[in-house]
Amino acid sequence: MNIFYAPDAAVNALIQLNEEEAHHAAHVLRIKAGETIRVFNGTGSAFHAVVVAVGKREVSVHVKDQLEDSGSNTLLHIAIAPTKQMERYEWFLEKATELGVAEITPIICARSERKEVKADRLQKVILSACKQSLRYQLPKLNPSVSLSAFLKDNPNGLMAHLEDSTVDISTLEGNYKSQPFIMLIGPEGDFTKEEIALAKETGYTSVTLGKARLRTETAGIYAAAIAKIWNEK
C-alpha cells in the first residue's frame, strides 16, 4: 500500500496532501477517489485513509483508523561533518533515518571539504527513507553550523576521533542507554587537536569506534547502530 506524508493526519480528519505528495499520488501513481492509502504524520503515527477527491494539484483524503506505530526513535543526536561527495552524506542520512536517529546536525569543521549543504534536498532524502522503512517519526534535521558554535550551544557528549587516549564506545552502554546523548563525527581528515581540546573543555568524552579507520558516513552509521542496539535491549 502506498504511503504519503501528511503532517496534519489524525483519526477522522479530512485533509489535503501537500503539493508534492499530491502530484506523486495523482500523476505518478494515478490514484483515484475511493482508493485506500496510508498516511503518516512524521511524529510517530500512521493511518489508513480513503481518497475523497483528486484534482490537478490537490488530493483530499479522509483519515480513518490509526495503525500500529513503528516505535520511537533512539535518543541519539548525531552532529556530523558533511562529506565532499554529497551522495555519501545522503546515504548516511538514509541509513540513519532507517535506524531511528532522533536528530542530525551538519557541522562545519576546520578540515571540512564541504562548507555548506542544501537542507531541502537532505530533508527529501530523510522523508523518502521514512517511507521506505515504514518509520513514522522523522528525525529532526538542523541547519548546518560551525563546530565551535555547536559546542557552545550543546555541551556534553561523545566525540569520535583517531587520537590516542580514547574510550571504546562499546564500554559506555551503562552511561548512555536510557538518556539522550550527542555523538560528534568529524570530516575525512578528522578533528584537529584544537577542536578535540575545545570539545573536552565543553564536557565531551573522546571515544573510538574500533581499530579500523572509518569514513565519515560509516562512522555515523556505526554510532546509529550502537544507539539502536542500546535502545532495544
Of 48, 47, 52, 46, the closest CA to residue 32 belongs to 52
Sign of CA dihedral 104, 105, 108, 114: positive
Under 8 Å between Cβ of 42 and 7: yes
**Which domains can be identified in the chain, with CATH numbers?**
3-66 (2.40.240.20), 76-232 (3.40.1280.10)
CA-CA-CA-CA torsion sign (215, 75, 143, 141): positive
Please check the confidence at residue 84 and state whether its pLDDT lies above 70. Answer: yes
Does the pLDDT at position 167 exceed 90? no
pLDDT in tens, 174-225: 787 778 899 999 999 999 999 999 999 999 999 999 888 899 999 999 999 9
Contact at 8 Å (CB) between 181 and 75?
yes
Q: pLDDT at position 126, please?
A: 96
pTM more than 0.85: yes
